Amino acid sequence: MEDESNNSGMETALDDASAVDRIAALLDDNIEASDVSEQAVENVEDEPTAEDDDAVETPDTEETYFDIDGQNVSLSEIRASYLRQADYTRKTQELAEQRKAYQEAQFDKNQLRMEALQGIEALKQQMAIEFRQTQQPNWDELLRDDPHQFLIEQQNWARKEAAVKQMYDAEQALRTKQAEYEAEMHQAQLRESQTQFLAKYPEMQDKSKSAEALGQITQLLIDNGFTKEEIEGVSDYRIVGILYELNKAINAQKAIPQVVQKMEQKPAISVKGTSSKASDAYTKDFNKFNKSRKGDDAIALISRLL
């Protein structure tokens, strides 16, 4: 009777495992980011518009021209350029809306995956308890005493083990999809952060300069004990901006001794009409910097020479 009760409880838990089939269905409805992006780009590049048709016109017999930066540009060319720009802006906005809708859909699907994983975890705990309470039959003895019951019990255990494996596979697939989603969102955040950073520091659009600066920032973080994973996790453009400003200040501080040495080796320049007041101000700034060695004092001193 006790074995029958345990087997009944086990079958109940494993019957609940049929929920795994519903969970696994989440994996079948996956929308890839590349498909959406490619479709959106095709729409931007290939979609015909009424403006494009209107832009092609028969030249007027008396065309009006305007002088723009030394070049004669016709009114029809200006109009066509305006229409192209307006059409590009519209399509860019449509692409942004498609990306936003895709990200929202992916977020919702990830929430469902997280809920499914929570359900699987609860089911795993319940099944583990029931497995511990259920004693595995003595297969050799059962085969000798009752071959027919042996086959029945063997099929039951095989079914239970198959259900456990199915649940495990579904869990692994869900976790894989979740990891892919998190990586995709991280890349999107990096792209947005890069856009914001370049808008604030346009000089970093120079690849050679940005490579040098980012290399110095990375080395700065390594020298201060940051791991590779921690460095790769920095994605907020505001944090990168602070590190960029700090790196520039460090480089300026390192350059001060060289500047001072060159200034001390430079012969005195006699400037006609230089007042004693200006000379005293320079001497004061020089003494102040020589004592403090601060970047602000160095800038004030150099400005006296300009």
Answer with the one of 153, 180, 200 that is the final residue of a domain. 200
pLDDT of amino acid 233: 82
Do residue 55 and residue 154 come from a single domain?
Answer: yes
Do residue 187 and residue 291 come from a single domain?
Answer: no
Nearest of 257, 253, 254, 247 to residue 212 by alpha carbon: 247
The answer to whether the beta carbons of residues 84 and 55 sit under 8 Å apart is yes
**pLDDT confidence bin for 276, thresholds 50/70/90:** low
pLDDT of amino acid 275: 52
Domain of residue 253: give its range.
201-266
**pLDDT confidence bin for 4, thresholds 50/70/90:** very low
**pLDDT confidence bin for 256, thresholds 50/70/90:** confident
The predicted model gives 205-221 an average pLDDT of 90
Answer with the one of 152, 171, 200 that is the final residue of a domain. 200
Do residue 180 and residue 290 come from a single domain?
Answer: no
Do residue 190 and residue 210 come from a single domain?
Answer: no
Give the integer Cα–Cα distance in Å for 74 and 68: 10
Answer with the one of 200, 220, 252 that is the final residue of a domain. 200
Do residue 167 and residue 278 come from a single domain?
Answer: no
Do residue 111 and residue 243 come from a single domain?
Answer: no
pLDDT of amino acid 269: 53
**pLDDT confidence bin for 36, thresholds 50/70/90:** very low
**pLDDT confidence bin for 218, thresholds 50/70/90:** very high
Do residue 60 and residue 83 come from a single domain?
Answer: yes
The predicted model gives 249-276 an average pLDDT of 68
Mean pLDDT estimate for the chain: 76
CA angle 253, 212, 261 (to 5 degrees): 30
The predicted model gives 82-97 an average pLDDT of 85
pLDDT of amino acid 37: 47
pLDDT of amino acid 61: 58
pLDDT of amino acid 8: 46
**pLDDT confidence bin for 242, thresholds 50/70/90:** very high
Give the integer Cα–Cα distance in Å for 282 and 305: 8
Each residue's pLDDT tens digit, 158-169:
888 888 888 889
Do residue 6 and residue 117 come from a single domain?
Answer: yes
pLDDT of amino acid 50: 45
Each residue's pLDDT tens digit, 97-147:
888 888 888 888 888 888 888 888 888 888 888 777 777 888 888 888 888
pLDDT of amino acid 17: 46
Do residue 149 and residue 280 come from a single domain?
Answer: no
Each residue's pLDDT tens digit, 12-22:
444 444 554 55
- The pLDDT of residue 31 is above 50: no
Each residue's pLDDT tens digit, 175-203:
999 999 888 888 888 888 888 889 999 99
> Does 159 or 60 have the greater pLDDT score?
159
**Three-state secondary-structure class, residue 251:** helix
Do residue 155 and residue 251 come from a single domain?
Answer: no
pLDDT of amino acid 221: 92
Do residue 159 and residue 247 come from a single domain?
Answer: no
Do residue 180 and residue 250 come from a single domain?
Answer: no
Give the integer Cα–Cα distance in Å for 194 and 302: 34
The domain total for the chain is: 3
Q: Which long-range CB contacts under 8 A does 193-199 form with residues at least 24 apart?
A: 193/235, 193/236, 193/237, 193/240, 194/237, 196/237, 197/237, 197/240, 197/241
The answer to whether the beta carbons of residues 288 and 297 sit under 8 Å apart is yes
> Does 47 or 207 have the greater pLDDT score?
207
